[in-house]
Amino acid sequence: MMNQNEVCKEFQTHPDVIEAARNDLLSNVEYEYMSVLFKMVSDPTRLKIINALFDRELCVCDLMVLTGMSQSSISHQLSKLKQTRLVKSDKRGKNVYYTLKDEHVRQIFRQALEHARE
Amino acid sequence: MMNQNEVCKEFQTHPDVIEAARNDLLSNVEYEYMSVLFKMVSDPTRLKIINALFDRELCVCDLMVLTGMSQSSISHQLSKLKQTRLVKSDKRGKNVYYTLKDEHVRQIFRQALEHARE
DNA sequence: AATACATATGAACATATGTTCATATGAGGT
DNA sequence: ACCTCATATGAACATATGTTCATATGTATT
């Protein structure tokens, strides 16, 4: 049995490498922003929505049909995507039309798809 | 008050656009794989780990020092990253050295960082 | 104004996820 | 063999997240 305090005493790590790595570290705020973005694209329902919106605008009903999810679920997810500025909405008549807003999302989506297909 | 069955009757959506979108849809398996990848990079602790490992191999103790997280937490996270094949490990002596394994992760990380910095 | 439809939203619920704590495993030094 | 150190891991716990249900909001249509 051992105490956490006794783990990894300074001289047993790799100080030179740690120093080099430390220069590459980002701020906690940056990690948090990245985390938020990735959380948004880490749910299959939202991925379907993003995929469907990739090249066109769609209303909520269109998205219901395409994803097979309930109206409420789609609305909740669109709400989150909007809060995090990944989509924007345009209300016209009774419908609300959504489009992708962030080009990084497209890039990230494409990369992940390549990864998935390996 | 209205019933879900009454929502979005076929003719009130946009059949032509839906048809176009349907051709772009992926399989559920693909969405799941993408989801798994994004979940892995959606936690700040794992993002720190990935960032630290970006250009070098590090042992668990190095990662503890760099991230300020407990040994147990780091080990659990590395275990997940290994299961999803984002890192690989190399045991040498008492230490286990980790490196990034997937080039897509680097690309995705860079894109997300750009996004975060806007 | 009354109704029908499209969308939004709060509350409740179940599940997933990350951290900690305690302890196990395994390698090196003595 | 024994001890120390580095790492792994199971269980418990708290928090976050996604879906559903019920209902609210807002825009046309009659």
Over residues A15-53, the pLDDT tens digits come to: 889 999 999 999 999 999 999 999 999 999 999 999 999
What is each CA distance from A15 to A7, B22, B54, in whole angstroms?
Answer: 15, 54, 17
Q: Do the beta carbons of residue B55 and residue B105 sit within 8 Å?
A: no
Nucleotide nearest to B35 (CA to C1'): C16
Tokens at residue B12, please? 């009130």
Interface test with chain A among B12, B31, B47, by most A beta carbons within 10 Å: B31
Smallest CA-to-CA distance from B108 within B61, B51, B65, B29 is with B51
For the whole prediction, is pTM greater than 0.95? no
Portion 98-117 of A in contact with B at CB < 8 A: 102, 104-105, 107-109, 111-117
* pLDDT given for residue B3 in this prediction: 58
Range 66-105, chain B: CB under 7 Å to any strand C atom? 69-70, 72-73, 76-77, 80, 91, 93-94
Take residue A83 and report the two structure tokens written for it. Answer: 């809060």
Secondary structure percentages of chain B, helix, strand, coil, to 5: 60, 10, 25
pLDDT at B111: 95
Q: Which residues of chain B have pLDDT under 50?
A: none
Tell me the residue length of chain A: 118
Strand D proximal to A10 Cβ, under 7 A: no
